[in-house]
Amino acid sequence: MRTVELLLDEASDLAVREAWRRLADAGLPSQARHRSPTNSPHLTLAACPELTAPIRWELAEVAAALPLPVRFSGVVRFERPTSVLAWALDPDSALTGLHRRVWEAVVSDSPPETLSPFHHPGRWTPHITLGRTRRVGAFADRHVPELLPTPPLSARLTTLRSYDTETGAVEILEPRS
């Protein structure tokens, strides 16, 4: 699978990494434990089997719309099929519009059964993952948010990239020149 993701500006990236560190220091699941050089704070927009030429064409237009200002809206937890702790992003019209463009690009040239329903517009919850585990309820303790630094009030999504889950390769998706 190939993900389509957005990276954060430098200051916001550092704030997320500080949250990762605090979770790890407290012995909780944290993205800091993933030592891959490709591990970066990111917002996943979609995933598809491959980035075909038609998909790439549309994604180049999305990349041209960056940077995109966003606002963090607090801590969110998910229990699907893994336990996830994240900082939520405000799903304003600019962010949801950009997400819809990415979704339409991947839907246009991917078998429908290969696409995650969690990325479908209307079901997608924009968030930056802080920690993830298969242990159900790992972040249910009410004190977990108190361990975290305050998320930045605002951030910028600066770079569109794709991660290949099979090879581990990262590709920056550039605007058309």
Query: For the segment 98-117, what is each residue's pLDDT rounded down to a tens digit?
Result: 999 999 999 999 999 999 99
pLDDT for res 14: 97
Give Cα 177 to chain centroid, integer Å.
Answer: 26
Q: What is the pLDDT of residues 114-132, one digit of tens each?
A: 999 999 999 999 999 999 9
Cβ(24)–Cβ(30) below 8 Å: yes
Is 136 a residue whose pLDDT tops 90? Answer: no
pLDDT value, residue 38: 80
Residue 35 has pLDDT above 90, yes or no: no
Higher pLDDT, 57 or 136: 57
pLDDT of residue 66: 98
C-alpha dist (Å) from residue 134 to 108, 131, 137, 163: 32, 11, 9, 21
Rg (C-alpha) for the chain, rounded Å, is 16
Whole-number pLDDT of residue 56: 96
Q: Kindly tell me if the per-residue pLDDT of 81 is higher than 90.
A: no
